[in-house]
């Protein structure tokens, strides 16, 4: 086994790079049945490891993967015509032709493998993950163009439906799932096929979904270059620092930076979960507050508005975000105790969400009603009541509340309010206080249980709420 492990190291590395978004949820085939293992729901489930991938390549076990819930790092067109293999071959070749001729996918970016039974998998790998909704929309456009039925050519993987990894053994038929020549569909009997495979430019997928003129595309590329927007994430720390400075100043920091500021704020608002209208409002507020001499001679509010709307739409559709949106942050024990003492469970959820937001984007932060509703999955009255409670108990204060946006109100001919801004008021953590690093996926309950024992939580929240919301 040691020799085989060494031989397949690069293939295993490629399986990780190209196919695996989460190791905590996967499938395992036994005969013609598949079992799902989910560590998110069952802590005793094993995570998908490299030694399992080695077993897969050795043919001793067969595994499959899900997507990342909201993102796909690859798409599989799962061609399955039951017992009609000639039809499966015809549909596979037609899909390959459509991908090349109609969607400008290069032939060497199209990878086809035998499913192990009667069908084929056509895989496209991306250099950056794309939104799952965009992946599905692209799949739908492709099969519509190819005039193929979705029940015979299915989209994989989703978070509910996995796809079997290639190069393993189909546990029912015993056939090896080799990659095949994309024109003849003859097997390429080598476990090393993936070693030289490189992911394709993901923007080709998104380009198929967004209709822009050549001039608009060129302009946005120029804007991206000027603002250090790399693919879908503004990952440079300077970008985040610059946004913080802009939001604090409430205006452009220097002349002739309208484009740069618009793109950065669009990425910021997308990271925060703001609606596109709210994002446009924040951008326009910043521009209206800027001295007129900061703009070029022919720059007008009408131009600012149209550009803000267009760039926000484009940034949201391509999911441009500030890189710090997924970075871990530190939560301290005293902060969680302050959250636990604010009121109902929904109010605690909002307090925690506001705490996280303040750590990511500064002590004074924007929060719209729609964003808050999404944060805790609650209605507008519930959120309004929660905000009122957090103010009453001294957890937060308003920095700005229901302030009229005079510039945009004049432009639109109706009252328009700026997004409310808040500040966290709880005491700062003490030196050497117990803390944990948390990610966006970590919720209040999980974090609280890491920093406090169950008895302490029960004494703070009450027995009924503990039994309904906190017990594990």
Nearest to 121 by CA among 163, 72, 162: 163
DSSP-derived 3-state class of residue 71: strand
Tokens of 109: 């970016």
Q: What pLDDT shows up at residue 294?
A: 77
Tokens of 414: 């109706």
DSSP-derived 3-state class of residue 65: strand
Burial state string for 53-92 with b = 16 or more CB within 10 A and e = fewer than 16: bbbbbeeebbbbbbbbeebbbbbbbbbbbeeeeeebbebb
Residue spans of the domains in the chain: they are 2-204, 213-324, 328-408+420-470
Which CATH number does the domain 2-204 belong to among 3.60.21.10, 2.60.40.10, 2.60.40.1220, 3.90.920.10? 3.90.920.10
Pairing relationship of beta strands 33-38 and 111-114 according to DSSP bridges = unpaired
- Fold (topology level) of 328-408+420-470: Arc Repressor Mutant, subunit A (1.10.10)
Q: What pLDDT shows up at residue 139?
A: 92
| Residue owning tokens 């067109």 | 77
Please give the helix or strand (H or E) that residue 51 lies within, else none.
Answer: helix 50-58
Please give the helix or strand (H or E) that residue 96 lies within, else none.
Answer: helix 85-101
Cβ atoms of 164 and 116 within 8 Å: the answer is: yes
End-to-end CA distance of the chain: 40
Task: Return d(Cα 384, Cα 367) in angstroms, integer.
Answer: 12
Question: Which residue stretches of 250-379 are H helix?
Answer: 258-272, 276-288, 301-317, 333-340, 345-361, 369-376
Nearest to 92 by CA among 56, 69, 123: 123
Low-confidence spans in the chain with pLDDT less than 50? 1-6, 211-213, 215-237
80-112: pLDDT as tens digits: 987 788 889 999 999 999 898 888 788 899 999
Task: Return d(Cα 93, Cα 85) in angstroms, integer.
Answer: 12
Task: Return d(Cα 25, Cα 175) in angstroms, integer.
Answer: 25
Provide φ and ψ at 15, rounded to 5°: -60, -40
DSSP state of 233: E
Nearest to 451 by CA among 317, 358, 352, 345: 352
Task: Return d(Cα 251, Cα 142) in angstroms, integer.
Answer: 44
Task: Return d(Cα 244, Cα 250) in angstroms, integer.
Answer: 10
Handedness of CA 41, 45, 47, 52 (dihedral sign): negative
112, HSE (Cβ side, Cα atoms, 13 Å): 24
Cβ atoms of 124 and 96 within 8 Å: the answer is: no
Total residue length of the chain? 472
Q: What pLDDT shows up at residue 225?
A: 43
Burial state string for 407-420 with b = 16 or more CB within 10 A and e = fewer than 16: bbeebeeeebebbb
The CB density around residue 210, as the number of other CB atoms within 10 Å, is: 14
| Residue owning tokens 């990659």 | 179
The CB density around residue 442, as the number of other CB atoms within 10 Å, is: 17
Cβ atoms of 66 and 74 within 8 Å: the answer is: no
Task: Return d(Cα 299, Cα 291) in angstroms, integer.
Answer: 12
Q: What pLDDT shows up at residue 397?
A: 93
CA angle (48 as vertex; 46, 51 as ends), nearest 5? 105
Q: Which residues contact 306 (CB under 8 A, 6 or more apart)?
A: none
Helix axes 369-376, 380-392, angle to 10 degrees: 100
CA angle (237 as vertex; 227, 132 as ends), nearest 5? 75
Q: What pLDDT shows up at residue 78?
A: 96
DSSP-derived 3-state class of residue 63: strand
Nearest to 241 by CA among 307, 165, 322: 322
Q: What pLDDT shows up at residue 79?
A: 95
Task: Return d(Cα 269, Cα 455) in angstroms, integer.
Answer: 39
Q: What are the beta bridge partners of residue 77?
A: 122, 155
| Residue owning tokens 């004074």 | 364
């Amino acid at each position: 086994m040691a020799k085989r492990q060494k031989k397949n190291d690069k293939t295993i590395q490629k399986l990780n790079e190209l196919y695996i978004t989460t190791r905590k949820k996967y499938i395992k085939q036994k005969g013609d049945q598949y079992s799902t293992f989910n560590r998110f729901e069952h802590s005793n489930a094993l995570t998908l490891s490299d030694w399992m991938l080695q077993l897969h390549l050795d043919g001793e076990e067969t595994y499959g993967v899900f997507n990342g819930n909201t993102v796909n790092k690859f798409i599989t067109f799962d061609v399955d015509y039951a017992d009609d293999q000639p039809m499966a071959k015809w549909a596979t070749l037609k899909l390959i032709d459509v991908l090349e001729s109609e969607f400008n996918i290069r032939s060497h970016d199209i990878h086809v493998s035998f499913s192990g039974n009667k069908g084929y998998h056509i895989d496209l790998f991306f250099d950056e993950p794309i939104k799952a909704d965009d992946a599905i929309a692209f799949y739908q456009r492709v099969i519509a163009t190819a005039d193929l039925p979705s029940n015979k050519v299915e989209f994989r993987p989703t978070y509910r439906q996995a796809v079997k990894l290639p190069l393993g053994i189909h546990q029912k038929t015993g056939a090896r799932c080799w990659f095949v020549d994309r024109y003849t569909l003859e097997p390429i009997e080598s476990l090393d096929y993936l070693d030289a495979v490189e992911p394709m430019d993901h923007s080709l997928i998104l380009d198929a979904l967004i209709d822009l003129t050549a001039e608009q595309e060129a302009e946005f590329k120029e804007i991206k270059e000027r603002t250090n927007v790399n693919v879908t994430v503004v990952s440079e720390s300077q970008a985040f620092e610059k946004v913080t400075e802009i939001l604090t100043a409430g205006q452009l920091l220097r002349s002739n930076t309208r484009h740069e500021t618009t793109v950065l704020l669009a990425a910021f608002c997308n990271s925060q979960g703001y609606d596109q209208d709210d994002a446009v409002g924040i951008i326009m507020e910043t521009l209206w507050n800027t001295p007129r001499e900061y703009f070029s001679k022919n720059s007008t509010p009408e131009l600012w508005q149209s550009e803000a709307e267009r760039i926000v739409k484009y940034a949201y559709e391509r999911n441009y975000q500030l890189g710090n949106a997924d970075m871990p942050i530190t939560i301290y024990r005293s902060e969680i105790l302050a959250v636990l003492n604010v009121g109902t469970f929904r109010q605690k959820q909002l307090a925690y969400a506001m705490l996280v937001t303040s750590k990511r984007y500064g002590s004074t932060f924007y929060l719209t009603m729609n964003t808050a509703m999404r944060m805790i999955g609650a209605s507008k009255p519930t959120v309004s009541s929660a905000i009122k409670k957090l103010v009453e108990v001294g957890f937060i204060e308003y920095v700005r509340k229901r302030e009229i946006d005079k510039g945009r109100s004049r432009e639109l001919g109706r009252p328009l309010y700026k997004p409310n801004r808040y500040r966290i008021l709880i005491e700062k953590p003490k030196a050497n206080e117990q803390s944990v690093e948390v990610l966006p996926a970590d919720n209040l309950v999980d974090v609280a249980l890491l920093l406090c024992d169950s008895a302490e939580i029960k004494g703070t929240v009450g027995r009924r709420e503990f039994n309904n919301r906190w017990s594990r």
